[in-house]
Structure 1
Amino acid sequence: MEYAIISVVACLTLFTLYLLQRQRRRNAIIHAHGGGKITQHYSWEPLTGIDFYMKTQMEIPWQYHHHQRYGHTFTVCSLLSQPTIYTIAPENIRAVNSEKAWGIEPLRLEGMEYFCGQGFLTTDGEIWQHSRKLLKPTFAKANLLDLSILSREFDQLVHDIPKEGTAVDLQPLFDTMFLNTSLKFLLGVDPKHESIGAPHTSDKFIDAFHSSLFLTMIRLLLGSAWRLVPQSKYLSSCQVAHDYLDYYIKKALLDSEQPATQRTSSMLDALSVQTKDLKYIRSQILQGMMASQETTSALLGNACFLLSRNPHYWSQIQKETMDVDSNNLTFDYLANLKLVKNILFETLRLYPNFPMLARISLNDTILPRGAGPDGGLPVFVPKGTLVSMGYYGLHRNTQVFGDDIETFRPERWEDIHPGPWEYMAFGGGNRSCMGQQKVLIEAAYVLIRLAKTFSTLESRDSSDWRGELKLSCKSANGCKVAIVA
């Protein structure tokens, strides 16, 4: 017994000495590179700091509250892993989003590759550049002009909304609407007119996609430990999704030999004329669906949540669009309607679809500021350091957006002009969202048609907004309203 106690004490002593020595080495490296000391936060769970990380995922304002306490940049220390840097400093956000020293592949590829392969969401360098280049033509204006499918889905939405002021949660209705339009945009598949030879229905594919996506997120959270978790459900869900997509990809590869006038204008069509690699095309389609499947629906849910509590803006939309027929909501009209654009920008300021994004340092590098007594000194960042950029907090900078940062006030956009690294609703730098124009046009279309169809939009939920973060962020409580024709 005595020997065992001595052994445990010896091990703990050696471990403590190792940690102290490692910290001395880190401090020496920082000093050698001219970096200053950064404000530190110590989490309750000292080994990995996982409690702080999980809190940021479950409670969106959590990171912002700590920025209010510590400043624009701080670090969360742990005993076993590299400290994580949290920042809302625009200079740091510019550096992380535009310099080659930062990437995502070490964070994502291992956990995501089986489901969605290599593409713009999982890789860096040449593979990422190639994926981006292949996808860019899909988002050309010519491919965004046809709103007929969205119009049909809107009509179905109106049919599904209870009449005469009965409370309804609009969020799942928006989700269904944009799942259907995504299938058309990405695959050229109309869920109401599916191919008879497909191995599964679109409903079964969507269920498998969501199951695969959820389990992929679990794999990312677990890191390398995902190998210890049973994989059968994950593998079967992925197989269903892959089989469904492979059927349409093979069909598109055959159709790519036909004249362009006989082909659809989908992402799959654009990819099939550029490459014949089935697995690679499947990966880009899956990643495109992951990036887009909730973006517009989350934005609309958050916008209606805010509009239901600020009904005078609903009346303003009705007044400004009174003279335009619903059938004449063209791309150019939607793109230039300032009131609706400001409502969407303000919604994304308060509740960004991506309230935080992380990057990892691919080699030793420097962040421009965050160290020293006033946070004005550069921060030395060793290779393998995780940096979490808090866009929820970034959008609450009173020097940029005014003192009333928690107030929904779309007209502020008439007077403010945030810089490219002060407002990050659609990211920035080389990885900025290619679908920004598509999201804003489609969201504007739905908002205007809702306002022209329904006279009032009233809140039926007294709870404060609470974020639910998956790939994108929407209200965890949904969008419970009463809407009257």
Structure 2
Amino acid sequence: MPRMFPTIRADRAGRLPAFMLQEFEKHGHTYTQRVTGQLVVLTRSPANVQTICKTRFKDYEIGSDRAGNFHALIGHGILALDGREWTRSRAMLRPHFTRNFDEDFVQLEVHVQHLLRRLIDVAFKDTPVDVGDLFLKLSTDFATEAVFGHSTNSLLFDLKHWSGEQDKGSAGDFSLAVDHALHMLGQRGQLINFYWVRDSPRFRQSCRTCKAFVNRYLEDARRSQAEHSIEDPGKGRGTSFMHSLVARDTIPAEVIRDQLLALLLASRDTSASFASWVIYALARHTEVMAKLRSLIDTHLQGCRIPTAADIAALPYLRHVLNETLRVFPVVPLDGRTAKVDTILPEGGGPDGKSPLLIPAGTKVAFNIYALHHRRDIFGMDADVFRPERWEEVGAGTTADFEGAFMPFIFGPRVCLGKNMAMMTVSYLVIRILQKFEHLEAVDSPASQILPKDSRNWPSEDTRYDMEDKETTFSIGVTMSPRDGVWVKLRSAGETHLGRGR
């Protein structure tokens, strides 16, 4: 238990990634410790992560601790499942990710227009804005339309003035509930098998609110399905993913709800956090932003709406996104539990390069953030945001780190929404840079009132000459900037809000 105290302190200070990095440099790329009485192996070895996620995938499961922790919110959603249940769930959800991205962009553009109008308004007033908050709303709007067939349209309202007491099941109520629930899941996850100790009436109410939100859509879909089936058996199926599941009468309503909630949460928070980190990085690296904006302007001839083919033709945009995911991985930490006695290729012996025995029941945590900051793999400037490093891969240089780059993991449990997230964020970044010629990073209001731990962290022996030395992190299920992404914007000449190509 004593090892938990420095971790908790670092997390409360918003500096947990730096603390984790420091621990690996102190103990090696793979080391073992006991956390809440349970043996845990921590690793940032690419070979070990590939073994866990792919080569010996069947030797591991997510474990009863993660399943139990997530169950409070998503029940039997895919993120809380193992074995055959997980296989069936993945097959159920896979069709949602078989996308025509150009069709998605038409739908996405509607919500991007709502976002741009909000941003243009604050740019005209020359006031700072937290784009991270707006990205969460946009992600919620787009995800609910894609999943349920009806958008929350939260960008059209100021959710901060919505009261859950006044409007149960509203988008505002859901957003507040989901933020708290996901934060609590992250906090509970740090306690591993003692996750249940972290509980509160607010957490339980937040979970109920999230389920009620999805139930409202689900009940409407079932009612519509039943009514149209009586009038005309060929109607009422709808076009959303939810309607396709409802049309399959063999799936229980509770199972559909849990899967849809898991899908909605993953889509909402992954895309919003990803987009937030991209803008966070660009606003602090104006030379990168200027280069990217120039390339976008040249390729799209100003304000032309991008297509999937356009995105594929902008390699520097892909490099910017890859570098963002490397420096600021959306999911910085993951783990598995060994089902059987098994072996990792590295971590044993005096030098840590020999195989390591993993007894059944051992928790293995792989740290993507610490892996992505390894200087022996990504270079001595591994802590620096430099998209050009991706141009060096396969260009006759010694750079060869793609096997160590795993923001979406890989193997059978690779993120189903990987391509969707990349395309959605690519589209969003293009549209923002088409409309604004400059984004200036400004201090958030919260950064002016830092807790004592934040001001005094880290200690002098911490490796902290890094890219994110002034960054504070919020780590729940995903990682995002704790104080938001505050910027001031300058419009790019005459603002064009049409959809003309």
Q: 2:420 aligns with which of 438, 446, 470?
A: 438
8 Å CA contact retained: 2:21, 2:370: yes
What amino acid does structure 1 have at the position aligned with 2:93?
A: L
Residue 459 to residue 467, structure 1, CA distance change in 2 (3 Å): same
State the 1:133 CA deviation: 0.7
Q: Which moved more, 1:306-315 or 1:468-477?
A: 306-315
Describe the superposition over 1:131-176 as per-residue Cα deviations: whole angstroms up to 9, x where unpaired: 1111111011226632234222222222223125432222111111
Structure 1 distance, partners of 2:402, 2:233, is: 41
Matched, 1:91 2:52: no
Residue 67 to residue 265, structure 1, CA distance change in 2 (3 Å): farther
Residue 369 to residue 222, structure 1, CA distance change in 2 (3 Å): closer
Structure 1 distance, partners of 2:45, 2:239, is: 40
State the 1:350 CA deviation: 0.5
3-state secondary structure, aligned to 1:118: coil
8 Å CA contact retained: 1:291, 1:471: no
Residue 135 to residue 377, structure 1, CA distance change in 2 (3 Å): same
Residue 283 to residue 56, structure 1, CA distance change in 2 (3 Å): farther
Structure 1 distance, partners of 2:198, 2:413, is: 32
Structure exhibiting the larger radius of gyration computed from Cα positions = 1
Matched, 1:336 2:313: yes
Q: 2:76 aligns with which of 118, 131, 134?
A: 118
Residue 74 to residue 55, structure 1, CA distance change in 2 (3 Å): farther
Match of 2:4 in 1: 50
Q: 1:474 aligns with which of 441, 461, 480?
A: 480
Match of 2:390 in 1: 413
Residue 373 to residue 214, structure 1, CA distance change in 2 (3 Å): closer
TM-score by length of 2: 0.79
8 Å CA contact retained: 1:350, 1:395: yes
Q: 1:317 aligns with which of 256, 276, 292?
A: 292
Q: What is the correspondence of 1:72-471 to structure 2 with a 5 Å cutoff?
A: 72-77=29-34, 81-98=37-54, 99-142=57-100, 145-161=103-119, 162-164=122-124, 165-192=126-153, 200-221=169-190, 232-253=201-222, 263-274=237-248, 275-323=250-298, 324=300, 326-416=303-393, 418=400, 421-461=403-443, 464-471=470-477
What amino acid does structure 1 have at the position aligned with 2:173?
A: K
Residue 249 to residue 105, structure 1, CA distance change in 2 (3 Å): farther
8 Å CA contact retained: 1:145, 1:331: no
Structure 1 distance, partners of 2:182, 2:371, is: 28
State the 1:281 CA deviation: 0.7
Q: Which moved more, 1:457-466 or 1:152-161?
A: 457-466
Residue 432 to residue 480, structure 1, CA distance change in 2 (3 Å): same
Structure 2 distance, partners of 1:211, 1:460, is: 26
8 Å CA contact retained: 2:101, 2:423: no
Structure 2 distance, partners of 1:226, 1:399, is: 35
State the 1:76 CA deviation: 1.8
Structure 2 distance, partners of 1:222, 1:288, is: 25
Residue 443 to residue 226, structure 1, CA distance change in 2 (3 Å): closer
3-state secondary structure, aligned to 1:360: strand
Match of 1:22 in 2: none
Structure 1 distance, partners of 2:483, 2:432, is: 21
Structure 2 distance, partners of 1:92, 1:228, is: 31
Describe the superposition over 1:386-417 as per-residue Cα deviations: whole angstroms up to 9, x where unpaired: 11111112112334322221222112111126
8 Å CA contact retained: 1:199, 1:247: no
What RMSD, in angstroms, separates the aligned Cα atoms of the two structures? 2.9
State the 1:102 CA deviation: 1.2
Residue 388 to residue 307, structure 1, CA distance change in 2 (3 Å): same
Match of 1:68 in 2: 25
Gaps of 5+ in 1: 1-44
What amino acid does structure 2 have at the position aligned with 1:465?
A: T
What amino acid does structure 2 have at the position aligned with 1:251?
A: D
State the 1:298 CA deviation: 1.3
Describe the superposition over 1:8-32 as per-residue Cα deviations: whole angstroms up to 9, x where unpaired: xxxxxxxxxxxxxxxxxxxxxxxxx
TM-score by length of 1: 0.81
Structure 1 distance, partners of 2:37, 2:365, is: 15
8 Å CA contact retained: 2:346, 2:353: yes
Residue 474 to residue 409, structure 1, CA distance change in 2 (3 Å): same
Residue 140 to residue 55, structure 1, CA distance change in 2 (3 Å): farther
Structure 1 distance, partners of 2:200, 2:440, is: 45
3-state secondary structure, aligned to 1:378: strand
What amino acid does structure 1 have at the position aligned with 2:332?
A: P
State the 1:230 CA deviation: 6.8
8 Å CA contact retained: 1:119, 1:127: no
Gaps of 5+ in 2: 157-166, 395-399, 448-468, 492-501
Structure 2 distance, partners of 1:423, 1:449, is: 27
What amino acid does structure 2 have at the position aligned with 1:330?
A: T
Match of 2:464 in 1: none
8 Å CA contact retained: 1:168, 1:482: yes
What amino acid does structure 2 have at the position aligned with 1:389?
A: F
Structure 2 distance, partners of 1:363, 1:289, is: 33
8 Å CA contact retained: 1:153, 1:177: yes
Structure 2 distance, partners of 1:473, 1:230, is: 21
8 Å CA contact retained: 1:421, 1:428: no
3-state secondary structure, aligned to 2:337: strand
Structure 1 distance, partners of 2:61, 2:170, is: 37
Q: Which moved more, 1:251-260 or 1:154-163?
A: 251-260
Residue 451 to residue 124, structure 1, CA distance change in 2 (3 Å): same
Structure 2 distance, partners of 1:122, 1:327, is: 42
